[in-house]
Amino acid sequence: MKILECIPNVSEGRNPKMIRHFTEVISSVNDVQLLHQDSGYAAHRTVYTFAGKPEAVLEAAFRLYMAAWEHLDMSTHQGTHPRQGAIDVCPLVPLQGMNLEEASKYARQLAERLTKNIGVPGYYYEANASSEERRNLAFLRKGEYESLPAKFTELLPDFGKADLWRKNGVTVIGARKLLVAYNVNLDTKDVSIARSIATAVRESGRLIQNKDGSSQRKAGSLKSVKAIGWYIRDFDKVQVSYNLTKLSENGILETFLQTVLEAGQRNCRVTGSELIGLAPLSEFIKVQAYLRAHNRPDSLSEAIDFLGLGELHPFDPEKKIIELILK
């Protein structure tokens, strides 16, 4: 059976009634299972994760867009997380019975339906990108909502109507491989340390100024890893916030260990971590293998404890690990 996953990032994390309404919109579609939702007050963002038959998933995503476009107003939105639209980004991930190319066709179907019904302006990214640079979400979102519509003079939307940006901003849609959003907590209140670690770890690294005024980019230590440093008021925590875009290259374990190393070099300590949304069981099996290689208890619960995933809120593997949810 074909199973498609959808992970829309909605720019609403503070109004419980509205968050619940969006949940009900998704759940109103048969053959769709809401796997997880994660709201952040400071980020002012809710990430919904649902999966099911592809046609049903597209219907749920379309209804969610319609609801968000009716109820949200980006002209008054403020949050710590980068954003430029009411549904900031809507990735589609092939979980079973299909490849990335087929998932990208479903992404295009969703964008075409949105264009026809509400004219939402948007960009294609990842597998649907119209150019190599547009594959990168950070490139498309640079300047955020406040850069619109000046951005459109150089970066025309791939679909929709550019002049309909004011209330709901612009969205990004595309098929991609499974991505894990993962934050590592530090024992410092100095956010500059988190930003320094982010530049040292992420693949894109940082720009270095040469004496002659030119600049060059120094790559970070982990490929297929994106990162920023920030302070989360919800938990009074400074975090390095990661997107792990190719788990076969670098996943949760590699990122956690590298962050521990970088933190130690800056005289601070990793206190735990946080999984935003879901992750595959294979990521925890890797941690178990690491523990076993170091002659430590290697159960799933030990792996969870090693990563400190319960520091900010209880971690229930039955609700956070994809295979355990989709039994």
Give the helix/strand (H/E) hosting 52: strand 45-52
DSSP state string for 3-23: EEEE--EES--S-HHHHHHHH
Neighbours of 217 (CB within 10 A): 10
Catalytic sites, residue numbers: 81
Alpha carbons within 13 A on the beta-carbon side of 4 = 29
- Residue corresponding to tokens 């990335």: 100
* DSSP single-letter state for residue 199: H
Distance CA 83, CA 145 (A): 6
Helices 252-265 and 191-201 meet at what angle, rounded to 10?
130
SS3 letters across 249-260: CCCHHHHHHHHH
**Cα–Cα separations (whole angstroms), residue 15 to 22, 30, 52, 89, 206:** 11, 26, 27, 20, 36
